[in-house]
Amino acid sequence: MTYQDVSFAALGDPTRRQILLLLRKGPAPVGTIAGRFPVSRPAISQHLKVLKDAHLVVVRPAGTRRLYELDSRGLAALRTFFEQFWTDALQAFKTEVERPTQARRRRTP
């Protein structure tokens, strides 16, 4: 499983996506994050571990608290991957559009 696989798998869950959106406002301790969701704190801990392992968040201890924040490097890497994918996909689309007229005719009802 590649690095991107781990990242996209992490983003595949709605709770984890919401956590990332929440962390855009800045670092937050686990308890605060968990308080924003209708699930248990350990459930949030498990989600945060997935995000950490995917390099989408980083954690630093602050007393008894653990502050989680967005991992800009991990997000940048994912962004690069997505941009590359998008560029390739767009290129493929352009190639398709520029095919001979015959292909176009078939698209006309």
- In this complex, which beta carbon is closest to DNA, that of residue 29 or of residue 81? 29
Contact region for DNA (CB under 7 A) — 24-32, 74-82, 86-94, 98-106? Answer: 24-32
- Tokens of residue 79, six digits: 């962004």
Which listed option, its own copies, DNA, none, makes contact with residue 41 (CB within 5 to 8 Å by class)? Answer: DNA
Smallest separation (angstroms) from its own copies to the CB of 47: 14
Among the listed residues 38, 63, 64, 96, the single contact to its own copies using CB under 8 A: 96
Binding footprint of its own copies, residue count (CB under 8 A): 34
Name the CA dihedral angle for 100, 101, 103, 105, rounded to a multiple of 10 degrees: 180
- What is the C-alpha to C-alpha distance for residues 68 and 58, in angstroms, rounded to an integer? 6
Query: How many Cα atoms sit within 13 Å of 91 on the Cβ side?
Result: 6
- In this complex, which beta carbon is closest to DNA, that of residue 12 or of residue 109? 12
Query: How many Cα atoms sit within 13 Å of 62 on the Cβ side?
Result: 12
